Structure formats: C-alpha cells, structure tokens
C-alpha cells in the first residue's frame, strides 16, 4: 500500500498543509515540536517524497549540492555528514561533488549543467579568489563556506581562524611552553587559512610578552600527516628545545605527534601539541589530541538556515557569519 501525505497527517495529528510545509522545508511555517512529530511519522510510516511531482509543482528537487575540495579528507567527510543530517530535518537531500581544490574545478562544479538539479549550493572555497567569486553568476542560490573574506553579495559562513589559533597558542603558553612552533603556517600577507592562523599564533605570544622564534613557522608542502611527520622529526633534530607546537589542522597534528615520537620525545611531557578542527579521530589518539573546535554544529545549522531562506525566496541581505571557537583539552597538553 502506498503511503500518502494524508496518512502522515493523520498519524501525526496535524493538517495536510502542515505536512506539506514540513516536507517542502518551508522555514518558519511550522514549530520545531510539530515538525519533529511529522518527520517521525514520515520515517515510521515509510513515506517517500515524489521528487518528480514536487519539481513539476514548484520547480524544486529537494536536493542541495555541496562542493568540497576533496572526498578523502576527514574534515570534509565530517562536514558532509553533519550537513546531510541537518538538511534531512527539512526533507532535503545532500549531493556532494569534488572540486580538486582548484579554481577550475570550483568553476566547473558551478556550471549550469552541473547545478541545474540543485535547489541551492554550498561551496567550500579554496581555489577561487575574492575577485573570482565576485564575478560569479549562477542559476541557484549559493552559500559560501571558506577560510577567507568573501564578497558581500553572497551568504558566507566562515571559521574564526585567527581567534582559534590565538586560543590554541595561549593554551600552550599557559601550560608552560616557551619555545613555540607552528606547523603548516605561513602565507604571509595573504587572506588564507594558514595566514590567519599564523597571525593568531604570533599575536598570542605577543600578548603574553613573548617574541616568536625567527624559525618558529614551519611551512609544509601539503597539510598532510606524512609531510608533517617528516618535517617535525627533522626540525626537532635541529632545535630540540621546542616544547610547544600548534598544528594548523588536526590532520597536521596527527603527523606532528608521530614526528615527536620519531624524535624520541614524549607528548606532552617534552612537547605539548594543539590541533585545529576537532576531528572525531583526535579523541581516540594516544594521547587524545587537544584541539580547537570551530563549532561545526553551529556552522552547519547556520548554513542550513541560510539555504532555507534562499530557497524560500526571502528578500534579506546576504549574511556573513563567523563561527565561535572553543578549546577541547585532552592529553597532548599538560593539566
């Protein structure tokens, strides 16, 4: 027997219009408690939305596109999982594409032929610069996810890179570290993630009355585990007095931990380490990784709300939101 919206309405004790509002993701039309009751009935009864019929009625597919630099990076995997869960609350589906972290890849992913089946697109900007983004013309709403400043004409949800790096470095200093290294830093003068996190690392030391080491910025060819491991092992052989390391990402921090071990040093007794991203894997390392949580759930909820507004055609100015950063203390720093 085919389950209909009328069956869902009867099971959840609401009107047919209320069920329609929930399934079509009309923001503000239904209270949270009622929406959850309807979604529970949808799941329990096994109701399936007819996407073809929906598109014929209102031009919507119920699908949102997410364009990320790469599939094999844990950060983007966790981001996609969180977004899929959040969008499902309003009956939407997530489709994920890979841009290859290049401007060409991002532009190709935004081509009309690629995004024609999406109601909106979330773009993690890596390759495109400010001026490139400012010239974009697309057939669907775009919400930008990125590390750098973006044109005001688009909604943008951004990590607070500098504040998070300042918090991480300050934590190392409070725990007694005085010879500090940033691994994966650099890009002086650029509006990039690494440049912003390097500024936060420098400012935290200045605020504490310390002078950053001239050799304190360890740049990496790639922000990857193997690259960080080799670079840290070699640097500690040259400057064994390093006692505190801020890794610009958790992925880099995992390599840092291995490099410290390779150098015959202990974490956190000899070298303390703080990462950035609060990846799930960090909690299960030995010792657990102290890291900066950039409020992933906050970001995802705000991005989904912006998507709702744009799909609904609400005439509101583009919003630029910066997520709050929090420190998660674990075993790679001393108590």
Q: Where are the domains of the chain?
A: 5-48, 61-159+296-324, 161-293
Say how far apart CA 307 and CA 79 lie, in whole Å.
16
Question: Residue 84 in 3-state DSSP?
Answer: helix
**Tokens coding 107:** 């532009």
Residue listed under structure tokens 């013309």:
137
* Number of residues written out for the chain: 335
Contacts of 8 (CB under 8 A, 6+ apart): 19, 38, 41, 42, 45, 47
5-48 is classed in which CATH architecture? Orthogonal Bundle (1.10)
61-159+296-324 is classed in which CATH architecture? 3-Layer(aba) Sandwich (3.40)
93-98, strands of its sheet edge to edge: 93-98, 63-68, 120-125, 142-146, 155-159, 320-323
In order along the chain (335 residues), what is the average pLDDT of each group of 10 residues?
84 88 70 84 76 56 88 88 90 88 82 77 84 79 80 86 96 97 83 88 97 95 95 96 97 98 97 97 96 93 91 85 94 95
Are β-strands 290-293 and 326-328 bridged in parallel, bridged antiparallel, or unpaired?
A: antiparallel
What pLDDT is recorded for position 188? Answer: 63
61-159+296-324 and 161-293: identical CATH topology:
yes
Could you write out the DSSP letters of every residue in 76-100?
HHHHHHHHHHHHHTTT-EEEEEE-T
| Fold entry, domain 161-293 | Rossmann fold (3.40.50)
What pLDDT is recorded for position 60? Answer: 77
CA angle 42, 46, 47 (to 5 degrees): 60
CA angle 196, 197, 199 (to 5 degrees): 65
């Amino acid at each position: 027997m085919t389950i209909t919206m009328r069956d869902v309405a009867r099971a959840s004790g609401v009107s047919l219009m209320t069920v329609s509002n929930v399934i079509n993701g009309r923001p503000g039309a239904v209270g949270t408690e009622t929406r959850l009751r309807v979604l529970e009935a949808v799941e329990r009864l096994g109701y399936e939305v007819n996407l073809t019929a929906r598109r014929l009625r209102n031009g919507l597919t119920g699908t949102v596109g997410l364009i990320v630099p790469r599939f094999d990076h844990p950060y983007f995997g966790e981001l996609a999982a969180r977004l899929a869960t959040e969008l499902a609350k309003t009956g939407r589906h997530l489709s994920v594409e890979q841009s290859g972290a290049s401007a060409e890849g991002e532009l190709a992913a935004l081509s009309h032929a690629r995004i024609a089946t999406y109601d909106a697109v979330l773009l993690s900007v890596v390759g495109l610069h400010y001026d490139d983004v400012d010239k974009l013309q697309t057939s669907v709403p775009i919400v930008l996810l990125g590390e750098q400043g973006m044109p005001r004409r688009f909604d943008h949800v951004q990590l607070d890179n500098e504040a998070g790096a300042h918090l991480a470095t300050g934590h190392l200093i409070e725990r007694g570290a005085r010879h500090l290294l940033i691994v994966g830093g650099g890009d002086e003068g650029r509006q990039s993630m690494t440049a912003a996190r390097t500024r936060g690392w420098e400012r935290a030391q200045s605020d504490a009355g310390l002078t950053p080491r001239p050799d304190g910025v360890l740049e990496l060819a790639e922000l990857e585990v193997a690259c960080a491991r080799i670079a840290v092992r070699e640097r500690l052989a040259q400057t064994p007095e390093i006692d505190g390391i801020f890794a610009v990402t958790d992925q880099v921090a995992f390599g840092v931990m291995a490099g410290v071990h390779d150098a015959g040093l202990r974490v956190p007794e000899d070298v303390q380490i703080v990462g950035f991203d609060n990846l799930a894997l960090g909690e299960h390392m030995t010792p657990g990784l102290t890291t900066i949580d950039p409020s992933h759930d906050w970001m995802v909820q705000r991005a989904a709300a912006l998507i709702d507004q744009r799909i609904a055609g609400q005439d509101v100015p583009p919003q630029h939101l910066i997520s709050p950063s929090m420190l998660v203390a674990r075993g790679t720093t001393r108590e």
